[in-house]
Every structure is written in structure tokens, then in C-alpha cells.
Structure 1
Amino acid sequence: MALKGYDIIKGKEIRGSRLRLPRAIAIHRTAQFDSDIKIKECRINSKGDEIIIMSFRALSIPDEPVFPILKEEDVAIKCTKEDLILPSVFALRKDFPVGLPHSNAMPYAHPVSLCVSDVPFSDYRLQFSAYDFLQSIRRWFDLNSIGELHEPDRPLEVFYGSHIVATIKNFQNCGCFGRFHAISKNTAILEYTERKSATHYIFPFKADEILSNGMAEIPEIIGDLNRITVCKGNPLLNVIESLFYNHQALKIDLPLFLPVLISQKRAIGLDAESSELFFIVFKKKICDIALQAKKQSHDSFQKWLYSQQIDIVMTLPPVSRELNASSNGLGNLFKKVSFIGAGTLGGNIIDHFIRQGVSEKIVIIDDDSLLPHNIARHVLSPEYVMQSKAKALKDVYRSIEYQKVDSIDKDVLLFNNNDKQRAFENADLIIDASTSIAVERNLALDNSYGDARRSSVFLNPKGTELALLYEDTERKYRLDLLEMTYYRMLIVDERLNDHLSVSEKQRTNSFSCRAESSIIDYDNVGLLASIASQQLKKLYASNDAKIAIWRISAGNSVVDYINIPLSDWQLFDINGVKVYIINDVISIMKEQRLSSGTLETGGVFFGCYDKDRQIIYVLHSHPAPIDSKHGPTSFVRGCNGLKEVQDSINLKTYYQVRYLGEWHSHPSGSNTPSTLDKKQFDEMSTDHLLQNIPFVQAIIGDNGVYVNALI
């Protein structure tokens, strides 16, 4: 068979019943029940990857397609043993056109690799459906054939005066050597360093308190330092002079650099009012001055020494976490804060936390690089383009003394135990700004992240609204449950109808099919990031959970605040499948049961699910359509308007919430399922499993709610 010539899909042919990878089994089973798909063969390669070759028939291709796609196309679907990526899809026709929209760049031309989803697999896998996956392949062919696969709509007087001002860098590693270098005509930096890169030998002093004379002195020669005493009355000039009589001085071929801390008081008997650090910079090397001391008499040397020129440099406090905190009027709120995501929003919030000095240690986690189009709305400057965002941010703040910043440029979902210990051990707060559902869900449900509270912050697609999810201290309201409550409010609160509407897109240069970037106003990013930073700190002082949205009004820059009430959940464990039903839905079921009197009634469940963890979340119930049939012992749910309901929910939640199942009432008696109820569950759950999606059935009676589910 000619298809076997492609190395990428080579393997030993096996029967479909011999497939062992869950993803491959689901795809194979679903394809068997699709009359427009013909399975040709299955293979397994030496790595344990499984390949299904099938033909997609009756494709919706026009008579004159934009791209030469046929009404029937053969594809290979490759499922990897590790299951870390979406199953690969290859168009197998030898003359299949290359370079079509949403084709993956490969080191070979054929077979053509199709990108059938622009959602990261870590997010997609949570609600992976073999039926949806196969339909996405069909959609790829259909829309590319008419040229519409890429949508068109796809940030006291100072003691000494000087014209030079400097500060200190790397103060924590202070020693005898430093590099003193000018930044401009009037500014400079002293950086403590190793001898090999030093420009000066450093000898610091703390002066005795000095009575202020109300004016700044401007020394020009060493003799002008005669007013300063150290160690309770010892003239500084005598101390300086003695340095050059030390035999070791002949070996130091660097100029002398004297940091002197001078405290002034207004009058005798009063406490000092100011403390200022000055740098006294010598022009000549220590060894050259020591040589003069050796050659001349004491009086001659002293006269010569006191006439030597010096520079006086005023200093500002070194950049430090403590200075940042005091400048912002804030104290030390955290020992350690871990940030996941250093993109547009995350980078801005990290910048706030570090500049405010509120945490002794900041850990930055992001495996992404800074791309050219990111510069429009990222805190990093262009010099860091194509570098790791996490490492670049650490580099930006490296000169802030006593501010510990650690960077990990690795996907948090691939962390091993050592990574987690480094990132999250003893953390007070974990802030997820990754915009990844998978990361947020992992933080919520994986106990290996420690005891820290978790929070998730993200912008809506247009960048005009900020959403914040914040766990309580006891973590009763986990991030995943807060996420589901948030989705519910998107459905039922009219104020949020357009919250997740898509923004305009711009193309970016990349080999990825996700080479699009939302167009976001950086003014909005700055404003909303400030709110996020403020609220993340404020809410930490409270023990309570929080869900909230802040919305910017473009016309007048007013920010509206929308508080989303918390909801409790009931957990039903059905043979290891955990079904969470929000109390709001259970209340609706009770109300509708009572209002229906002696007749059965029911409704439709909507929500989310997580196949990896066997969890189903029921967060919304739509009442029985008007064409439903109600009887004393029967209920047949109608269909009138349900498609429109699902379409509306798709738009409001950006396709995160889907149909999950059914509920009905027993007007009198228990919630025990009847024979008919059991038969309905078997039929509908089987149908759902063929599509690789879960099914939930609930019955409400006098004794509460009965739940059955398969996933």
C-alpha cells in the first residue's frame, strides 16, 4: 500500500480491537458509528504509538474549491503513548496541497500535518470528545476548501554638597573592592565586586555626630575633610594618613574609595536628625600614595597628602525591598509569593509586587519567551526579546537589595517534586496568571502544591475586564468550584452577556497555528493590573473566598465592580465518578417539582467535566421546554428551543459549558429510579459514551436528589 511509504505513520498493522491507548480506543469507537467515516486500518509503532487510518467521505467541498481539497480524503490519526499532545492528524494524499491555513510546519512536505485545534492540549484534554475531535477534522477540510478556516476578525542641609549623585548596587555582597562608574555626567553607581573587576579599594567609616552649620560644605582636597572625626574624636585625616603607612598599601594598585556615613544634629544635647552617606573618591592609586609616604618625611608627606584632590559624591539609598515598601507605605505582607504566568497581566502584577516590596521572595514561573509583538503590552523592554520571560524579569529586578527573586522557565504542569518544592514550599500565596484552565484546575485539585491559598486572575478576550477567583483560607471554595460558579453567572447574569466576546486579532510571525494575538489596549492592562495587584494583597488579609469582575468603561475610564456571590456545592460519588451539583441548581429542581404539583417535570443539565480526574460539574439547569409532556408517573422532555439555549451558552462561556444530561422529578415518593428511568440512563449514557462525553441523570423526590453518571 502506497501509504506505508510515510515514515511518520509506519507501524505494524493490528485489528481495531487490539488498540490499547484510551485516546485511540475512543476515536476508533466513535468513528465506527459515523457513516461518513471509513476506517481502513490500525497500526502500532515501536514506540507504542497507535495510528488509525481512515477516510473522511461526503466532505462539504464546493465544485470549485479555493484550495484543491477532494470530497473524500484519507487521514492518519496518531495517538502517542505518553498522551501529552493532541492526537496528530495527517492528510495522506500524495498531492495534498502544502502551506494551507492551519497546517503545522514540519521538516517534510508530506504527509501534511493538520492543526485541528488552536487550544493547548492541556486544556483541551479536560473535556476531550472523540466525536468533537473527528468533527474538527471534517471542519478543517470543509472550511479550508472555501478559504474560511482563518476567521477575518482573527502594551537640615546636606553636610557635603556635590554635583554627582550615586547609589550602591550589590550591597549585600559588600567587601573591600568595588566598581565605581559614571552613568551620566552627574550620576554614578558603586557596585561591590571581585578584585579582578574592581576600580577602587573601599574603606568605609561611620563619622561621629556633627553639629550642623546650616550650609553644605564642598571639599576639593583631602585637607578639607578636617571637620570629620571617627571613633569618638579621632580625626578622619589621621586615619586616612595611617592607611598609607601600612606596608600592605604598596600592593594595592587601586584608588582609595571612602564611604562615610555622617549624622547631623541641630544643637548640642539633641539627637541626630539626619544620616547621610557620602563617597570620598581619591584620584591617585593607594600604592602611589604609599610610595610617597615611604620617600618623604612625615611633615612633607602630610602636607602633600592634604593637598591631593578628591571628589565628593552624594548618595541615595540603595534600591532595596525595604525602600520600596516604605516608599509605598506598605509593610512586609508575605514571606513568599509564587506567580504562575509572566505574560501581559502576570508581568504587570509581578512588577507591582516587587516595586511595592511586599514579599521577601517572589518566584516567577513561565516557560514562554518574549516575542516581538509582546512588547506592545509587556513590562519587559525590547532588549529581552526572544529571551525567557521568567529569567528576564528576574534580571530586571536583580539590583533590588534584599529582594529575593527566583525564576523557573518550565511548564508548571510538567513540574517534578523538586520543582514544586522550589516553587511552592512555604509559599503564602500562589497567583495563577497563566490564563490556562489546566493550570488553574491543577492548582485546585493537586495537593502537592502545599498549603498556600490559591488565586487566579485573568483578562477577558478584549482586555476590558478583569476576573479574579480567590480561595478562602480553609480552601472550602477551591479554584475549580469558583471557576464553575463564575461560568454559571456568565449564563444567568445579563450584565455579563458579552464578558467573553472575542476581540480583534492580529497575525504574528510564528510557525504555530496559534500565531494570532488579541488586540488589547495597554491602558486597560495597566489599570486592571493595578486593581488585581491591590485586591490580591487586600483579600489575603481576609479569610474569605472571592469571585469578582472589574469592567472599564472606555468613554470615561470608570471602572465598574461586579461582585459574584459564592455558591455551595453538593458532591455525589458514583463508583469513583465525582459529580458536583451547585446548590442553585438543586434549589431550582426543588422549586419546579413543587410548582408542578402532581405531575412530573424536569430539565436539562449544563456544565463542565474533567476526564483525567473523573469529575463532572453541574452548574446550570434549563427548565423543561414547552413541548415537554408531563404526567403523574412520566415525563418526556421536549426539544423546542434547546439548540438556541446551547448556542447562547456557548457564546457566553466561550464554549466551556456544554450539555451534560437530564433531571426529572417524582411528585410523590422517593427518588428511586424506575425501570424506565434505568433504561433511559442506559440508552442515553451509551449514546454519550459513543461520542466520548459524559452523561448525568438526576431524580428529585421526597428524600432528596438521586444522581447517576458515567464519564
Structure 2
Amino acid sequence: MADTFYELCNVTEIASAEALTIPRARALFNAIERHRDYSIVQLLQQTKDGAPTIECLIVDVECDGVPSKNQFGIAYRERLALCVPSDPKRLIDVLALRRDFPELMHLNQGLPGAPASLCLYFESPAAVLRTWTPPAFLRRIQWWLERSARGELHPADQPVEQMFFASQYELILPWNYAKLREDLSARFVVFKGPERPNGGFTCYMEAVSGAVADAKTAAHIDLLLPPVTHGFIEHNPGTLGELSDILGKRSVDLIGLLRDMIQTKVDEKGAIESPDDKATVIVVLIPIRRSAEADPDGIMRRAFFVPSGIVEVGIATGALFKYDGRYFRDSTNSEPTTAWRDLPVLLMDVLTKNDGASARRQSAVLEEGPTGVLVGAGSLGSALLNLWGRSGFGRWSVIDDDHIKPHNLSRHVAFAQHIGQAKATVVAELHDATMEGATRIAPITADASDFSQQPVAQVLNVASLVVDASTTLEYPRAASANDALPRHCSTFVTPDGNGAVLLMEDVKRSQRLRTLEAQYYREIIQCKRLPTTPVSHRSDLLRCAPVFNGAQRWSAIRSFGRATWRHGRAVA
């Protein structure tokens, strides 16, 4: 058995099923006893402080659906270890004990030289355990083996498998990383965020132009690798040598590509090692294809953090040599040392901060939206601008001459530290805190009704839409009297906050806001379903009131929000 199968460590043998103490292990044993395709080989137990933590049922399972001599290497009879944890919230781990068990897709992450762990489910453990039963679990194992033996476990309509498992460590790139990396001399600082309860953490990469106090900079290297065919998910490497070996199995010369990229960062004059450069971040782009003949389905992006400066990595890989205190390209070294193999690497998932296009895609916004002006940055205006800004919709200027007061905080997006600051400036700063310059909002602290002010006139003249959320009479009536202004709409919320009204001018402004306002009042007066309660205190009035678009009256009430844009026009 030792020659053919793996032996589990740190376990002791159990004489009989009566010694099983974990409820799921006992239930699973009873189900195996009644199953014609399963047979018990051995019972094992792992304990801690005298209490069992895992109970293992070593079984032989036979699968009639496994083709004989199949190309994937699954045998008709396989020996498995069903490792049942004492924690009822954890799934049972299924280990393939055969030493030459094939490397297949849909295996859990494990250690090199350890038994393969079958990935039986697509759902989360909580979802699986809600309907888990021992007979269904045993059948699931056979289903996995039979599908794998026929090459059917990964359907053609399922996304391709990634090369590496997801990491609990993340690297966040700036939204404009693609542009920043064009500068070969660019330097970055990597900041480490707080550690999470599971031990993972997030790092943030930021470009620096000058000295940063108490910060160690990191050089960045981007490597676009040749396409690889998806298949077995590799274990996460711990050293540069392990990473090179993993990619080498996919016919990728990592070190050759790395040496070439390092040499491009050094000109004929050589380079001087910076005392602040203490790390190298290798961002690897790997096109993944479904088969050797197919085009790539997508690009996997992973980062490998090397706690060594780029000069040190260059020396270790034979890309650079040192002469007279400077480092030069080493183009004559055909047999570099293997010192690079022991350089530690930390695999990190790569995420990028949102730009406008990413925000729109994530928000299902199909068009960029208007060049617009928002009049009024109060409770309603700030909420609208917050939604539009986060979703990448439109390019906005905001006009408001008021400032934040304590009572505003009950509904405004501002915080206590903003009390006393101009509302327009506050909403613009909050937007910048979210988008970090990817998109911007231009604040104007002024009276929007005073068209003689140069900042006000300038933004109104270039806008294609003006949204009035000022909840005043002055601005919409002043705008209605000005023929030079673009299309306007006005929106407000009823006093109890349960309804909203939108008044929308037509594209040619043949019906202005002042006319739509009058039509709105007429509808309220003529609506026979309305009670006699004063308008300002009845949200029921809104349910009967129309939303106006030009001279057309709509019978259905529409909540306020983003206008839909088609062919450069806003339509309700």
C-alpha cells in the first residue's frame, strides 16, 4: 500500500465503526455499508487535546461509467480518503490516494507531493450543506470520476479554468496603470492594508514622482506571456523557481522574458541602485485558451511580489552585471546562475480601481451620458450626483451657493467634518475620493440664477442638459426666460419623501419649465381622485400627478433618476 497509495500523516487507526464520534462520519459509514459500489478499507482518526478533529474513511469506489483505458487516467476502481471534519460547517474533503492519480481540472488547491483533493461542488459550503445527505454525497463522487474520465466535467459553455487558485492577498492598481507603466522609469510605492481575520490583506500600488517619507518603492515589470491551454490549476508558488517550473510545463520561458524586460529598463549608460527600491512587482498577463487550436478566451492577470529590488533580481537572473558602481545589461552571459530560483514570491490577485468606462460597465450604463450641469447640491442633488458619478454617467458641473449645516446631515451625503463647507465643493470632493481623478465634478459656488457670473455662464453654455434640483422657484423661472440655455429638467421630492416629480423640457425647448409647472398644478387641481388635503403634505397627490415631457402628459408616474440617452438625446 505504501508503494501504490499515499499514507495520511498524524492519524491513528480506529478498530471499528463504534469508535467514530463525529455524526457525519457515522452517517457516512452507514451509507457506505449499504452501497454496492463502495467498500471500507480502513478507518482513521486525527485528534487534538484528546478530542477528534477529523475522522477519515478510506474506501475503494467502483464506477461503471468510467471508460476503460480512458485518456484522462481515471481508473475503474479508485482508493479515496473521505476526511470528515468535526466542524459541521466545513465540507468533507475527498482525497485521491493513488500516487499516480492524474492532474485534472476541478481539483482543490493542495501541496506538491500530497494527495489530490477533488473539487466536487461549484456552490459555496453553506449552499451545499443545506441539502447534503450521505447517499447524494457518495453519488456526487462517482459523478465527478465518471465525468472526468470522459472529459465532460468542464462543459464547453463554462468559463475556462484559471492557471492559479484565487489568493487571499490582493494588489490594487491605479485606474490609469496602463498609462503610468508606459514610463519605464516610473516608480511605485506599495502600501499594505490591515490584515483580515483570515490572514489575507490588500496592498495598494501608487505611482510616486518624488520622495515619500518612510516608504520603500517597488519597481514594476509587466510580462505578457504566450497563450496557454487551460487545464490543471497549479498550486500557488512560493519561489521564483517554482513559478518558472509551473510555467515551463506550459512551454513558457519565464526567466528569459523576465531578463529581457529588466534589460529594457537599463540604457547604455547603466543604472544606479536606489536605496529605496526594496521590492519588485511582476504583473503577469496570461492569455488562456480552451484548446491548443482555439483563440484565447480571456487574459488571466496575477501579480507576484518579490521582496528584492529590481537590480538584485537582475543580477540573480543574469540580466545585469555591476561595473564601477553602475549596473549594465549582461548580454554575453549565456549561462546565468540559479540564484534567482530561491527568490521568494507572493502570489496576489490583481484588481484595478474604476475609471469611468469600468464604472459604467459595472452599472449596466450603455452610454457615457451628457455634458451636464446640476443646479442644487442639497439632499436630492447630492444623492443624484453620487449615483451618476459612481456609475460613470455624464460629465458634470454643479452649482450651489449654500453651505453644509448640521441639519443637512440627516439626508445629505456630507459628513460631520463638512459642516460649514460649500455644498458644491463637498460633493465634488466626495466624488474625487471615490474616483481618484478618473472622472471629475467641477464645483461652482455661486447663484445659478445670476447668468452674468462668468463661471455660471461658461458651464451652462457648453452643457447639453441642465438638471434643476434646487427645489426653488427662482432658477427654473429664470432659466425659462433665457433662450440661450440648453434643455432643462426639474425634479423635486414631496415633503414626506415618498414620491418625486420630474418636469422635462422637449429638445427644442418649445415648452419651458414654467409652462410645465403650470400644467403640473392644473393636474393636481383637476385630479378627482385626490382628497382635499393640502398639496404640500400629501404624498398621495404624486401618485395621481403626471410626469411631463414637453407638452405630452404621461399617465404613469416615474421615479426620479438618470435619464436614458439615445442618439445624443435624453428620453424619459
Taking structure 2 as the reference length, what is the TM-score of the superposition? 0.55
Cα deviations by residue, 1:491-513 (Å, 9 ceiling, x for unpaired)? 3435275464359xxxxxxxxxx
Q: Give the whole-Å Cα distance in 1 for the aligned partners of 2:441 and 2:531.
A: 38
Cα shift at 1:174: 1.7
Q: Give the whole-Å Cα distance in 1 for the aligned partners of 2:189 and 2:493.
A: 44
Is 1:188 matched up with 2:203?
Answer: yes
Cα shift at 1:272: 1.2
The partner residue of 1:257 within 278, 281, 296 is: 281
1:208–1:229: 8 Å Cα contact kept in structure 2? no
Is 1:369 matched up with 2:397?
Answer: no
Secondary structure (helix, strand or coil) at the match of 1:501 reads helix
Structure-to-structure mapping, 1:538-557, within 5 angstroms: none
| Alignment-derived partner of residue 347 in structure 1 | 382
Secondary structure (helix, strand or coil) at the match of 2:307 reads strand
Secondary structure (helix, strand or coil) at the match of 2:491 reads strand
| Alignment-derived partner of residue 167 in structure 1 | 172
Is 1:322 matched up with 2:357?
Answer: yes
| Alignment-derived partner of residue 440 in structure 1 | 476
1:257–1:281: 8 Å Cα contact kept in structure 2? yes
Is 1:236 matched up with 2:244?
Answer: no
Secondary structure (helix, strand or coil) at the match of 1:268 reads coil
| Alignment-derived partner of residue 531 in structure 1 | 559
| Alignment-derived partner of residue 409 in structure 1 | 445
Distance 1:253 1:221, change over 3 A: same
**Equivalent position amino acid for 1:210 in 2:** V
Cα deviations by residue, 1:450-506 (Å, 9 ceiling, x for unpaired)? xx3100001122323312111011111101111122233333435275464359xxx
Q: Give the whole-Å Cα distance in 2 for the aligned partners of 1:496 and 1:340.
A: 33
Cα shift at 1:183: 2.8
The root-mean-square deviation of aligned C-alpha atoms, in Å, is 3.6
Is 1:157 matched up with 2:161?
Answer: yes
**Equivalent position amino acid for 2:488 in 1:** R
**Equivalent position amino acid for 1:376 in 2:** S
Q: Which consecutive unaligned segments of at least 5 residues does structure 1 have?
A: 1-155, 504-528, 547-711
Distance 1:299 1:208, change over 3 A: closer
2:227–2:287: 8 Å Cα contact kept in structure 1? yes
Cα shift at 1:200: 1.8
| Alignment-derived partner of residue 487 in structure 2 | 453
Distance 1:421 1:312, change over 3 A: farther
Distance 1:531 1:489, change over 3 A: closer
**Equivalent position amino acid for 2:373 in 1:** S
1:461–1:500: 8 Å Cα contact kept in structure 2? no
Q: Give the whole-Å Cα distance in 2 for the aligned partners of 1:490 and 1:322.
A: 42
Is 1:358 matched up with 2:364?
Answer: no
Percentage of identical aligned residues: 19
2:369–2:565: 8 Å Cα contact kept in structure 1? no
Cα deviations by residue, 1:173-204 (Å, 9 ceiling, x for unpaired)? 52422232233322232233424347322232
Q: Give the whole-Å Cα distance in 2 for the aligned partners of 1:327 and 1:470.
A: 28
**Equivalent position amino acid for 1:253 in 2:** D
| Alignment-derived partner of residue 153 in structure 2 | none
Cα deviations by residue, 1:45-93 (Å, 9 ceiling, x for unpaired)? xxxxxxxxxxxxxxxxxxxxxxxxxxxxxxxxxxxxxxxxxxxxxxxxx
**Equivalent position amino acid for 1:259 in 2:** V
Q: Give the whole-Å Cα distance in 1 for the aligned partners of 2:366 and 2:286.
A: 27
**Equivalent position amino acid for 2:560 in 1:** A
1:332–1:357: 8 Å Cα contact kept in structure 2? no
Cα shift at 1:430: 0.9
Secondary structure (helix, strand or coil) at the match of 1:461 reads coil
Distance 1:263 1:324, change over 3 A: same
Cα deviations by residue, 1:622-644 (Å, 9 ceiling, x for unpaired)? xxxxxxxxxxxxxxxxxxxxxxx
Structure-to-structure mapping, 1:104-119, within 5 angstroms: none
Cα shift at 1:294: 4.0
Q: Give the whole-Å Cα distance in 2 for the aligned partners of 1:419 and 1:282.
A: 50
The partner residue of 1:213 within 231, 248, 254 is: 231
**Equivalent position amino acid for 2:290 in 1:** R
| Alignment-derived partner of residue 372 in structure 2 | 337
Secondary structure (helix, strand or coil) at the match of 2:506 reads coil
| Alignment-derived partner of residue 299 in structure 2 | 275
Distance 1:228 1:483, change over 3 A: farther
1:177–1:200: 8 Å Cα contact kept in structure 2? yes
Taking structure 1 as the reference length, what is the TM-score of the superposition? 0.45
Secondary structure (helix, strand or coil) at the match of 1:420 reads helix
Q: Which has the higher helix share?
A: 1
Q: How many residues align?
A: 360
